[in-house]
Copies of this chain bind each other. A is one copy, B any other.
Amino acid sequence: MAVQIRKLDSTAPDFKQTLSSLLAFEAETDDAIESSVAKILADVKHRGDAAVLEYTNKFDRIPNGGASSMAAFDIRQDELDAALAAIPEAQRNALRTAAERIRVFHERQKQELNGFTFTEPDGTVLGQRVTPLDRVGIYVPGGKAAYPSSVLMNAIPAKVAGVQEIVMVVPTPDGVKNQMVLGAAAIAGVTRVITIGGAQAVGALAYGTETIPAVDKIVGPGNAYVAAAKRRVFGVVGIDMIAGPSEILVLCDGTTDPDWIAMDLFSQAEHDELAQAILLCPDADYIARVEASIHKLLPTMPRHETITTSLTDRGALVKVRDMEEACAIANDIAAEHLEVSAEDPLKWADRIRHAGAMFLGRFSSESLGDYCCGPNHVLPTSRTARFSSPLGVYDFQKRSSVIQVSEQGAQTLGKVAAELAYGEGLQAHARSAELRIKS
């Protein structure tokens, strides 16, 4: 199958509608998955460890007839350290460099949120406290799509926030452990690693079992069962966003090496067949050169089949009127990853209101950000950058309001509160305020 990436023109009368259908992605609800997940969660909630043990032995095909107790799934710290020591030195150093840069960036995020207190003339004190969550769970997929970079990106912000207990779950299908993932856990400061996965792991983290303490929030990517389970336990615990397919939108003024842009589009498309890569450019000749680069470079890619399907089904090369229009379209798309590959990237970036992460200038390939620039690679997908943010330290903190009304303050505030409370028909509210007013 040859790649056939569609070419659009923003001046076409049906452009808006074509783009809209191209962007449309609705996660389908699979009733079989939903009912299976509901059953597993209920079972874990009521039977605890026994249920987790059974499901794990079965679904992950644990060898030698399965584990006989939950203790078999705990990975001790010395095993994590050994995994880190066992991987190639270049990988270990790269993980360490990435982790340190991620830590530095997220420390900067933490500095921004300190809480505040102010005192009014009558002595009333108002404020906001910021505190870390006590305990969080991090879901890490196992098997083929095992990403050590995700371990760093999910665990380090929690660590920086001051979370005391970081419990990582990672399934080990057929009992196979990924050493790079375990090494990343050692570097990131995960406090406990349990080799369980699926809806049963989400249930164990949400409700707690005899051996696994209930957490306050669960983050991290997973398959359809994990996503369904996270949706269902939301409210009992916090969750991060349920991610859709990954996307990149490249705005290019036609001055970047077309091979670079083609490879940037591939780097998104290779994730999976539903991933989306779109280029906006005002220069038709340049678009043709990118297309030529795509055809030239694609055969060199080990994941060319996935890339071909993704680009053919969901990709586009869009000729726009000018870079101003490209920015306006980018605001409608609200992309997860936005590359501004142009001579004066800041000029265009200033017009962007919605994007998960912006990669400015031709040296800022998305792949650098995915691994080691420092900002998080967990980003809002499917246009949710209109209202949500990258995963960050703030996701592992919460705020509490602090209200300390002085005796004098209660005299004036009490009258205002009572007036409004009576207006709403809430008389105990009014009386509670009035009791504090001196007669």
Listed in ascending order, the chain A residues whose CB lies under 8 Å from chain B are 27, 90-91, 93-95, 97-98, 105, 108-109, 112-116, 118, 124-126, 128-129, 131, 133-134, 144, 146-149, 180, 216-217, 235, 237-238, 242, 257, 259-260, 263-264, 266-267, 269-271, 301-303, 307, 345-346, 349, 352-376, 379-380, 382, 384-390, 392, 394, 398-407, 409-410, 413-417, 419-421, 423-433, 435-436
Contacts and interface: CB of A to CB of B under 8 A. Distances in A.
Contact of A406 (B363, B416, B435): B363
Number of copies: 2
Nearest to A389: B399
A180 B360 CA distance: 49
Nearest to A135: B386
Contacts of A266: 428, 431-432
Contacts of A237: 387
A386 B386 CA distance: 26
Given A235-B382, A428-B301, A435 B389 contact: no
B301 A427 contact: yes
Nearest to A94: B419
Contact of A374 (B126, B356, B368, B376): B126
A437 to B, nearest CB: 10
Given A368-B405, A398-B385, A97 B416 contact: yes
Contacts of A376: 401
B269 A428 contact: yes
Contact of A357 (B134, B149, B371, B400): B400
A257 B50 CA distance: 51
A116 B271 CA distance: 31
